[in-house]
Structure formats: structure tokens, C-alpha cells
Amino acid sequence: MTDQPAADLEIEARVAALEAAVARLVDIVEPSLAASHLAAPIAFPWQKEVAQHEFVARFFALLDLGESLIKYSAALALAALCHAQPASEQAATEFLRQPAPLGGWITSLRNTLNDPAVNTWPIEILRGIFRRPNTKPTDTARYLFDEFVRIRNRERGHGSQQPDGYYEDLYRNNYMSVHDCVRASTHVRLPLVYLHAVDHREGRYAYKVTLLMGVSPATLSEPIHTSIRVPVRSTCLWDRGAFLLPLNDFLVHQYCRTCYMEHSFFSERITAEQVAFHSYIGNHRQTVDRARE
């Protein structure tokens, strides 16, 4: 096999640069247009960040966006693990037995990506985003798992607010990197759905679903037909065909008792009796009895 000509590589690099420039222009001209193509757990913090005016608010909203991207990526990988190896569900949720730090989500994501026995969709998409063919981390993985986490741990821990100029520098130095990570994360544009009703006939299921994309969930006019049995009120990733991947151990769409609206929550702690949830929409938290999940 011959090496790819240098001219071709240069053309590819220029095309990639143009695509990135167009994506950034879309964000500037119409941020909501970009958010509408993102899964709700990412779209809400994305929209919140671009809507802020003060740099301190922008920066901490940017941290929410980065954290959400890490947790959402881990949720998809761990759900794929549980689907491929049902007996591993307890081990997969072990890091949530205590209030899980962000590092726990990253470790679980890395371990799952490195497990060759996990091959359920969309694990190969996730591997392509965070690992090179030689298994070395991509630029997205290096920034999110290392530099972003260092900044986040340092700034979340400040006991007092810093001068506004301090946060302006932090925001300007990091917002393009976080946004580039979101753009590189093609899995955040895969359809996320909430199953709110089902019809069952002769071993086939027709799920009526709400599409959880962007900041305005919408009910799909046509049901999803599949032979896969999934509990109603589940939050799932959908392959636009007949496959649904339940995410319920790690991510749920449910009614919020604080703001009286439905939105996405990440699991924060799981015990035998209860599950504690956290949402980046208003930083809301709530606990639900396991029997009511």
C-alpha cells in the first residue's frame, strides 16, 4: 500500500478547517440551530452557556457543558456494556454506590472503551471519538479527561468568587476547546428518546416516543417498531431503525419536583432503596425510590 500523497492530505486538512469554521459561524449566527441537533442533556447546557452575558456565568455554564459531555459519553458506553454483558450491570454501576465524582465517570468510560468484549452499538462510535486506531487518546479525550478536569476541579473548589477579568480569561482560553469537543462527539447527535406508551402484538412492540433532541422535546408522529422489550418510561438511544439502548441506570428523563418540568437527570448515587439524580438544568437534585423508577 502506498502512502497518501501530501497534496491529498493538505486538501483534507483544508476541508476539515473549513468545516470547523462553518460550524463555529453557525454557533455565532444562530446558537439554537446548533443546539437543536444535540441530545437534550447536551443541548440544554450548550444553550445555557451561549445565552449568558457575564463571563463568570459563561465560564461556569461552560463547565456544566463539559461535565455533561463526559457523563453522557460514559452513560452511553456503560449502557452498551450492560447490554452486551447483562451480568455486569452491578459492576457497571458500582462507582455510583457513593456520590460519584467526575473522575469516576471518566474511569468507567475508559475501562469500557478498552474492553474488547463490548461491541454493542454505539461503542465503536465512542471508541472512534476518544481513541486513535493505535489506542492512544484523541485530542478530544486528552482535553476533556485531563486539561478540562484539572481546570474544573480547581475552579469548582474556589471558596470565593474571583474578579470578573479572571473568568473572562478562563472562558476565552477554553470555550473553543469545549465546543470543538462537542462537535467532535458525533454520538451527541444520535437520537435520544423517551418511551411513553407501547402497543404489543405477536412478539412485536410499537413504542410511542418523545424525541429528546434540542431544548424542545417533540413527540414523534410514528411509533418505533421493534422486537426489543423495553419498559415504558425508559430513556433510550435509538439507532433510527429497530434498536433501542436503555440508559436508565445512568440517565433518565423525568418530572422535576423543583421546576415542575420534565428534563434529563444523571444518576448521582444508587443505593438498594433509592436513586439520587442531578440535572444541569438549574443544578436541580432529587431522590426517587427504586420501586418508582
pLDDT of residue 17: 66
Q: Which residues contact 202 (CB under 8 A, 6 or more apart)?
A: none
| Residue 214 reports pLDDT greater than 90 | yes
The CA distance from 30 to 28, in Å, is: 6
237-266 pLDDT, tens digit each: 999 999 999 999 999 999 999 999 999 999
The CA distance from 118 to 248, in Å, is: 18
pLDDT of residue 5: 61
CB 247 within 8 A of CB 237: yes
What are the sequence ranges of the domains in the chain?
A: 28-187, 192-292
The CA distance from 92 to 104, in Å, is: 11
* For residue 217, cis peptide bond before it (omega within 30 degrees of 0): no
276: confidence class by pLDDT, cuts 50, 70, 90: very high
| Residue 23 reports pLDDT greater than 80 | no
CA nearest neighbour of 71 among 279, 283, 211, 210: 279
Rounded to an integer, the average pLDDT of 108-129 is 96
Higher local confidence (pLDDT), 37 or 3: 37
6: confidence class by pLDDT, cuts 50, 70, 90: low
Q: HSE (CB half, 13 Å, CA atoms) of 100?
A: 29
16: confidence class by pLDDT, cuts 50, 70, 90: low
Computed over every residue of the chain, the mean pLDDT equals 89
CB 27 within 8 A of CB 139: no
Which has the minimum average pLDDT: 79-83, 109-113, 161-165?
Answer: 161-165
The CA distance from 88 to 178, in Å, is: 32
| Residue 50 reports pLDDT greater than 90 | no
pTM of the model: 0.87
